[in-house]
Amino acid sequence: MACNVSGGVTTLFFSVLMLGLMSGWSEAQKDVPAMYIFGDSLVDVGNNNHLKLSLAKANFPHNGVDFPGKKPTGRFSNGKNPADFLAEKVGLVTSPPYLSLRKSNNSKAFLTGVSFASGGAGIFDGTDAVYRQSIPLTQQVDYYSVVYQGVVQQLGSAGAQQHLSKSVFAIVIGSNDLLGYFKSGSELPKKNTPQQYVDHMILTLKLLLKRMHNLGARKYVVAGIGMIGCCPAQRNQNKTGNGECNEEANHWSLKYNEGLKSMLQGLKLELKDISYSYFDAYTAFLNFIQKPATYGFKEVKSACCGLGDLKAQVPCVPIASYCSNRNDHLFWDLYHPTEAAARFLVDLIFEGSKEQVFPMNLKQLIAV
């Protein structure tokens, strides 16, 4: 009898616990009904798997070695990437790749969010010259306009506006544009000074954010560019030969971020019904590199997966080797953070201070 009572109490406890968890999940979904992701390989969850010509793919080992099921999914990571952690924070499943939904023509699938992010993509068209095929931001917004029509079809015009006004629109892009400018042999410096190029990036992004606003977007999470000059690929290409960062690339990452932050402040004055969180990714990576032990990192220069100096001469392909201690590496491959680093980044986005996420973090943005 005692065992039965104990079993009943245990069952009751877990029932209450599950109800509480389900209630919290439900409340989170009410707060954020959907998340729409725009960006590059940092947040691609598999769109490039559907691009036949693309060389920017991660649907092969050793990618995904720590992902549930231990299979590569198209994420440029050993496990989950920032898009996955963002979804977890707001109580949603990861937004599926748009190209995986397009053929089904199922508008209901659009209601909890969609990812348009694509490895190799940039703010400008043509940043994928090396990779042959990606979905530039202009095309991603085009695809979102199709999703918008599907949401209107499902909920009606007023219902769609209410739904989208509570949804989160995350934009993580720009690194490929700058990397392309500073790539050896690039023709871009002959056409524009770095300042002209950065200014044009910001103006182009502003126009696309306004277009998204016309299609119902009201809450934006916009990430600045990280310390791209310190990724293993850039360190490896540095002519000093000491594995030092490319300081020119870092300098213009900072200049872009300053312009981006200023542009968002101006956009808020112009479009009074928007709210946004600007994430200072540059300072986050600077802290990782300068104070690695604080975050549990031991290796911040070399990639975990690859071959050659800094494991950055050959990318993370099946013939490459990968480290066993993924959690103490900042970089998974030539360009992308490990799952451990991605988790830290999203923790900052969600509840970081005003110095890290301006003028409010994601948690505060959701409450607006």
Give DSSP secondary structure letters for 214-277.
Answer: HTT--EEEEE----GGGSHHHHHH-TTSS----HHHHHHHHHHHHHHHHHHHHHHHHSTT-EEE
pLDDT tens digit sequence for 149-194: 999 999 999 999 999 999 999 999 999 999 999 988 899 999 999 9
How far CA 200 is from CA of 88, 114, 175, 260, in Å, comes to: 34, 27, 14, 11
* Phi-psi label, residue 238: left if phi above 0, alpha if psi -120 to 50, beta otherwise: beta
Instruction: Determine the pLDDT at residue 24.
Output: 41
Q: Which of 102-106, 128-132, 142-146 has the lowest mean pLDDT?
A: 128-132
- Average pLDDT for residues 300-311, to the nearest whole number? 97
- Average pLDDT for residues 204-211, to the nearest whole number? 98
The answer to whether position 247 is within a domain reads yes
Quick check: is 333 catalytic?
yes
CA gyration radius, the chain: 21
The answer to whether position 348 is within a domain reads yes
Instruction: Determine the pLDDT at residue 242.
Output: 83
The answer to whether position 297 is within a domain reads no
Please, which pLDDT band fits residue 132 given cuts at 50, 70 and 90? low
Structural domain harbouring 152:
33-229+236-291+339-367
20 has pLDDT over 60: no
The answer to whether position 84 is within a domain reads yes
- Average pLDDT for residues 113-142, to the nearest whole number? 89
- Average pLDDT for residues 283-298, to the nearest whole number? 98
Instruction: Report the predicted TM-score, pTM, of the whole model to 2 decimal places.
Output: 0.91
319 has pLDDT over 60: yes
The answer to whether position 16 is within a domain reads no
Instruction: Determine the pLDDT at residue 128.
Output: 62
The answer to whether position 64 is within a domain reads yes
Q: What percent of the chain shows pLDDT beyond 90?
A: 84
Residue tagged active-site, from 40, 41, 44, 62: 41
Domain tally, the chain: 1
The answer to whether position 308 is within a domain reads no
The answer to whether position 305 is within a domain reads no
Please provide the average confidence, as pLDDT, over all residues in the chain.
Answer: 91
How far CA 213 is from CA of 38, 144, 216, 261, in Å, comes to: 14, 11, 5, 18
Q: CATH number of the domain that 66 lies in?
A: 3.40.50
11 has pLDDT over 90: no
